[in-house]
Every structure is written in structure tokens, then in C-alpha cells.
Amino acid sequence: MLPQLRPGCALAHTTGASGSGSPHRSDGRPPQTPRGARHTGRHGGPGTTPPVPGPPTVHFPSAPWASSVTPLTALALIASLALLALCTWQIAAHGPLRTYDERLGRTIAGSPLPSPVAEFLADLGNTAVAVSVLALAAGWAAWRARRAGTPRWWLPPLASAVAMAAVPALIVPFKALVGRPGPPGPLAGETGFFPSGHAATAAVAYGAAALLLRPHLRRRLQRPLLAAVAVLNLAVAVGLVRRGYHWPLDAVASWCLSGPLLWTALRLSRLSRPSPTAADGDRTAEPTEPPRRRDNATTRGDGTPGGRDAGGTGRQNDATTRTRRRQRPNHGGAEQRRLSHDG
């Protein structure tokens, strides 16, 4: 009777079912799980490897005001309000800055700038002209935004209108509080010239119009537009001083007051666009499933492993199998030789 081989160690070292070369495997997976294929728990969950389920991390979106105020913007706003306070204090207290301001105003009034040109520049600060330009810009920007499907397309024009309405609400009490007399000219003898209503109207109207048009223009045209608005406001101030309607510090104070109004309109306008921080927070708050394991090698139509990692995985499995075979003694061969010798 021939000896029967025991189904033990000798037969256990055969290759897998699909020819993967891995002992004790019935599929084509490598003998050890690659380090990159190990999946830990969710990000932020109190787990280790193996993963321990935990609650998802919820990121609450920050307020748009806090995320949009950069240190440079905050410094500019503080400087604008500080300069407004300084000018108001010097004008009300008859300080040395008021003396220099009146001297500069008389110099500009006697400049060789033609009076018709100065009158035209001063008229650009009238409410009828400046508000009409802002209305045209707001209508065109609203039409473009609605056509593009922008959410809350009506918010930027509304913010600009609110900023424009805030100009007389702030300028009129300011004029009555300071009560500065006007320069020599057609309005000599009257009071209430600080700050300038024409300069503030021009600054807010033309500035808000530029902010409304800026997102719809090409990038190479955005900076020239802002520079043109700055030059236009400077020209309006020169025309007002040249015609004897205001002192120079009246226009400067109006610019300092218009800066925070334009900044507020800009912040409200940007609320119409979705915040990326809020979107990320919403995605993080939703519980997500762990990523599925993806095999390194794919299977071709003939059943052989394919893909860019198939060759490397197969060679690694073959080398592992040969190493294990060399390290383990062949108990089955020794058993056969012992039986043959006894026989």
C-alpha cells in the first residue's frame, strides 16, 4: 500500500487560486496589506488604527465681516476716521491746520485754471450728475448679474443705493455742527461748508459705480478704472476750490467720510457671492463614508492581471513566495524519503 500524503504543510504552500503566487490566498491580493491602503478613522474622530468611529468635525463658517477685514484694510479705515477727527478738531478749534488750509485755498483760487473748466469740474459733484451715473452703472451691473444667474444679484445695487442715501444723512448734521464759513467768492458770508457735500457725493457715486462695474470688466481694465475715479474726484475738489465753493480741507474730510461708506457697500456686495469657507463648513458637517479600497491591479478580458501596477505587484508576490519556500523546511519531501527508506 502506497503511503498517503497528509494534507498539511506540504500542500499548504501552493499558490492561490488565480495564480497570484501568494500562499494561503484564494484571490490575487498581496500577502500583506500595503501601507497606503490602510484606512484610518474619519478626520477629527477620536480613533486610532484600526479606526474607532467618532462624531464628524463640524466647522462653523465665520462671519463675512471678520473674514474680509485684513490688517491693511483695518489700518486704512482707522487712518481715514482719525484724519476726519483731526480735520474736524482743527476747523472747530481754529487750529494751525485751518490757517494753512485757508492759505492753500486762496492760492488755488488764484490759479490760472480757466473758470469755465473749473465750473465744469465742480458741476460733476452735483447730485443730478453723479447719482445719474450711479443709477446707470447699477442698472447695467444688475442686468449682467441676473443674466449670469448670480444669487442675490440685486444686493450690490441696493448696497450702493444705501451708501448714496447715507451721504446727506451724515453731511447735513456735520455741516450744522461745525458751521464753518465759506471762502471768498459767490457764497461768501454763509456757513456750513465743512465737509463738502459735492465732494462726498462725487466720491460715493463714482466710487460705487466703479465697484459695480469692476467685476464685469476684464482684469487689465479694472485698475485703470479705479485710477480714473480717483483722478476724477481730485478734479472735482480742484474745481470746487478754484470757484470759491469750498476750502481744501472740506474736500479732504468728505473723502475720509466716503471711504467707510464705500467699504461697507463693497462688503455688502460681496455677500451676493457664495462664501468658500461656508461651503467647506457645510461639506465637513455632513457625515462622510470612509473611502473604498481600490485594488492596485485591474483584470483584463482574458483573466490576467493588468494595469500599470500589475507587473510590480506580481513580481513582489513571486519574490515573497520564493523567500518563504527557502526559509521553510520541506516536511513532505522528508516524509517521502523516510517511507522509501523503510520500505
Of 43-52, 90-99, 101-110, minimum mean pLDDT range: 43-52
The answer for residues whose C-beta is within 8 angstroms of residue 299's C-beta and 6 or more apart is 305, 306
- Cβ–Cβ under 8 Å, residues 9 and 331: yes
Q: Is residue 238, in this structure, part of any structural domain at all?
A: yes
The pLDDT confidence band at residue 66, using thresholds 50, 70 and 90, is very low
C-alpha–C-alpha distance, residues 164 and 311, integer Å: 71
Q: Is residue 332, in this structure, part of any structural domain at all?
A: no
The pLDDT confidence band at residue 337, using thresholds 50, 70 and 90, is low
Look at residue 60 in the predicted model and tell me its pLDDT: 46
Look at residue 190 in the predicted model and tell me its pLDDT: 87
The predicted-structure confidence for 122-141, as pLDDT tens digits, reads as follows 999 999 999 999 999 999 99
Look at residue 296 in the predicted model and tell me its pLDDT: 46
Q: Is residue 41, in this structure, part of any structural domain at all?
A: no
C-alpha–C-alpha distance, residues 101 and 265, integer Å: 31
- Cβ–Cβ under 8 Å, residues 175 and 200: no
C-alpha–C-alpha distance, residues 283 and 59, integer Å: 9
- Cβ–Cβ under 8 Å, residues 138 and 160: yes
C-alpha–C-alpha distance, residues 204 and 260, integer Å: 10
Q: Is residue 84, in this structure, part of any structural domain at all?
A: no
C-alpha–C-alpha distance, residues 293 and 163, integer Å: 56
The answer for residues whose C-beta is within 8 angstroms of residue 316's C-beta and 6 or more apart is 30
Look at residue 151 in the predicted model and tell me its pLDDT: 87
CA 79 to chain centre: 25
C-alpha–C-alpha distance, residues 44 and 104, integer Å: 64
Q: Is residue 156, in this structure, part of any structural domain at all?
A: yes
Q: Is residue 86, in this structure, part of any structural domain at all?
A: no
Q: What is the pTM of this model?
A: 0.62
Please state, as a whole number, how many other Cβ atoms lie within 10 Å of the Cβ of residue 142: 18
The predicted-structure confidence for 258-308, as pLDDT tens digits, reads as follows 999 999 999 988 876 655 444 444 444 444 455 555 544 444 444 444 444
Q: What is the dihedral of CA 18, 22, 28, 32, to 10 degrees?
A: 170
Count how many domains the chain has.
1
- Cβ–Cβ under 8 Å, residues 203 and 172: no
The answer for residues whose C-beta is within 8 angstroms of residue 2's C-beta and 6 or more apart is none
The predicted-structure confidence for 186-211, as pLDDT tens digits, reads as follows 888 788 899 999 999 999 999 999 99
Q: Is residue 288, in this structure, part of any structural domain at all?
A: no
Look at residue 123 in the predicted model and tell me its pLDDT: 95
Q: Which domain holds residue 204?
A: 120-274
C-alpha–C-alpha distance, residues 57 and 319, integer Å: 43
- Cβ–Cβ under 8 Å, residues 5 and 11: yes
Mean pLDDT (the chain) is: 76
Look at residue 69 in the predicted model and tell me its pLDDT: 76
The pLDDT confidence band at residue 53, using thresholds 50, 70 and 90, is low
**133's grid cell:** 451715473
User: Partners of 299 in the beta sheet?
Assistant: 305
Q: Is residue 178, in this structure, part of any structural domain at all?
A: yes
